[in-house]
Structure 1
Amino acid sequence: MTPLPATVPAIVRTRVRAALRRPARTAPPGPGETERRALLLRLMSLLLQYPDAELATARPQIADAVGALPPSPAAGHLAEFTAWFTGQEPDALERHYVETFDLRRRSGLYLTYYLHGDTRRRGMALLTLARRYRAAGWDTDGGELPDHLPVVLEFAALTGPGRGEAPLRQHRRGIRLIHHALTDAGSPYRHVLAALTELLPPATAADLRAVAELAAQGPPDEDVGLDPYGDGEFAPPDAFVPPEQAPPTLVPPPAAHRMEGR
C-alpha cells in the first residue's frame, strides 16, 4: 500500500491545488465518479478550514474549481458558499469563522463531541479515530484533533468511499446537527454542510429523532475540569442520555445518481 501524505492541514491545500490544476472532464460511473467525489470532499475540507491569508488568496481558484464541477446538488451548495466566500473582506471572514465555529459549541467542528460530549468516552473515540488513520498509513502530525471535520473529510477523500468515509457515516447525526445550527444562525457555512449531507446516506427516522434530541438537550457531560455549557445552548449536565452512534451503512454503489441525478 502506498503511504498516505503525512501532514494536515498543509497536505489538504497541496492536494487541492493539484486537483485545481487538472482540467474538468466528464467520466462514467466508476473511477471517475470516485475522483469527483474525492474532489468534492477535498474542497469541503479546504473551505471549512480557518480562512487565513493563504486561503483568502486562493479564493478565485477555489471558486473556479467549484464552478467546473459536474452539476449535482452538492456542487450547487458549494457554488452558493463560494459566491459569498469570494465577496467578503479577509478580516470579516476570519471574524465570522471564529464566531461560528470557535465560540459556539453547537456548531463546533469536532465530531466526537456530539456523540460523547465532555466525557471519558470521547477520549477513547479520539484514540480509535487516530488509530484508524495510522492503520491507513496516514499521520495527521497532531496539528488538529483527529475528529476535526476538515481532517475527517481529507481522510475520506484520500482513502475512498469505503473505509475512508466510514467516520463521516458514523458521525452523520452530529454532522446534521452542525448543519441545523449553522442554518439557524444564518451562516453561509450551512451550504458546505448541506453539500456534505448530500454525500451521506439519507437520514432515517431514528437519525432525525436523535438529532432533534441532541439539538434540544445537548451532548452528555461529566466533571472532567471543563467549563459547563454556556449561552443557554444546551440543557444542564445529566439531563441527557446520548443517542447511540449512527450505525455503519453499506457504501452506496458508484451510480451516477449519487452525484448528478439526485
Structure 2
Amino acid sequence: MNRLERQAVARRCATRENAVVHRAAALLLEYPDAELVALAPVLRDALADVRPQLAAPLLRVIDHLTSRPVTELAAEYVETFDLRRRCSPYLTYFAYGDTRKRGVALVEFKQAYRAAGFEVADAELPDHLAVVLELAATADDDGRAAGIGLLLAHRAGLELLRLALLDAGSPWADVLVAVCATLPPLAGDDREAVARLAAEGPPEEEVGLDPFTPPLTAPIGARR
C-alpha cells in the first residue's frame, strides 16, 4: 500500500466508533494503577454503543483489570511489556530494532503529530502504541486519519505485537485484537511484511549505538 492509498484507507477508517475503540485501547495500554482501574465504569459506558466484535475484546481486558489487585496487575504489565522484547509496544522497534534507522522513523512520527496539530510530551516516545492510538482517537478528523495512517504504515509491527501477546497468553492481547479489527484485513504487501518480520525479527543493533531500553516501569502520563 503506497502513501496515497494509505491516506485514503485512513480516512475511511477514521470513524467515531473507531475513535471510541482507539481511545479505550490507549487507556487500557497504560501502566495499570488505581486511577486506571477506577475508570472501568466510564470505559464500559463508552463501549456500550460499539459493535460487539470491537467492544467485546476491550471489555474482557476491563474485566481482567477489575478482578486483580493493582500490585498484581502492575507486575504482570512489567513482565509482559518490559521483559519480553517481542511484546514491545513501540511500533518502530519491529521494523528497525535498535538501529539508527529507528531514529529517523521516530522523527517521521513526530512530524505526523505536528502536521495534525499535536505535540508529544518530551518524556514519551511518539511510536508508543498508546500515544498513536490517542492521536487516532481525537475529535479532529485530520488527527484521527493521521493516527490511523501511522498504524497502517506500521501494520506489520502492530500485527506481530498482537501475535506475540496472544502467544504469551497475555490479557492485553485483546487490546490489539480490537485495534486490528478497526483496520482493513491484511493483504498483499502487508501480509508479506508480517511474515518476513516474523521470520527474521527486528534488525540487529548497529555498532556504536546505545541500546534502547523503554522506560515502561513508569506510568504513561496524561496526554492531550
**Superposition TM-score, scaled by structure 1 size:** 0.69
Alignment equivalent of 2:25, drawn from 39, 44, 49: 44
Give per-residue Cα distances to partners, 1:47-103, cap 9 Å, x unaligned.
00111231122223323433x133231112112222222111111110111011111
Alignment equivalent of 1:213, drawn from 193, 196, 211: 196
Match of 2:181 in 1: 198
Conservation of the 8 A alpha-carbon contact between 1:169 and 1:201: no
Structure 1 stretches of 4+ with a deviation exceeding 4 A read: none
Match of 1:134 in 2: 114
Alignment of 1:76-95 (within 5 A): 76-95=56-75
**Deviation of 1:213 (Å):** 2.9
Alignment equivalent of 1:149, drawn from 129, 137, 161: 129
What is the distance in 1 between the residues matched to 2:16 and 2:193?
32
What is the distance in 2 between the residues matched to 1:176 and 1:69?
26
Unaligned runs of 5+ in 2: 1-13, 213-224
Alignment of 1:9-28 (within 5 A): none
Give per-residue Cα distances to partners, 1:131-167, cap 9 Å, x unaligned.
1111221112223100000000001111434333100
Matched AA of 2:19: A
What is the distance in 2 between the residues matched to 1:82 and 1:148?
21
| Greater relative contact order, per chain length (Cα 8 Å cut-off, separation 6+) | 2
Q: Percent identity?
A: 46
Q: 1:88 to 1:65 in 2, by over 3 A?
A: farther
Match of 2:211 in 1: 226
**Superposition TM-score, scaled by structure 2 size:** 0.80
Q: 1:164 to 1:207 in 2, by over 3 A?
A: closer
SS in structure 1 at match of 2:122: coil
Alignment of 1:112-127 (within 5 A): 112-127=92-107
What is the distance in 1 between the residues matched to 2:58 and 2:82?
22
SS in structure 2 at match of 1:128: helix
Match of 1:57 in 2: 38
SS in structure 1 at match of 2:146: coil
What is the distance in 2 between the residues matched to 1:120 and 1:79?
39
What is the distance in 1 between the residues matched to 2:181 and 2:111?
27
**RMSD of aligned C-alpha atoms?**
1.8
Matched AA of 2:210: G
**Deviation of 1:205 (Å):** 4.3
**Deviation of 1:226 (Å):** 2.1
Conservation of the 8 A alpha-carbon contact between 2:112 and 2:146: no
SS in structure 2 at match of 1:165: helix
Conservation of the 8 A alpha-carbon contact between 1:172 and 1:200: no
Greater share of helix: 2
What is the distance in 1 between the residues matched to 2:145 and 2:41?
32
Range with bigger deviation, 90-99 or 131-140: 131-140
Range with bigger deviation, 137-146 or 158-167: 158-167
Are 1:101 and 2:81 an aligned pair?
yes
Conservation of the 8 A alpha-carbon contact between 1:177 and 1:215: yes
Conservation of the 8 A alpha-carbon contact between 1:114 and 1:219: yes
Matched AA of 1:96: E
Alignment equivalent of 1:70, drawn from 50, 53, 63: 50
Conservation of the 8 A alpha-carbon contact between 1:179 and 1:194: yes
Greater radius of gyration (CA): 1
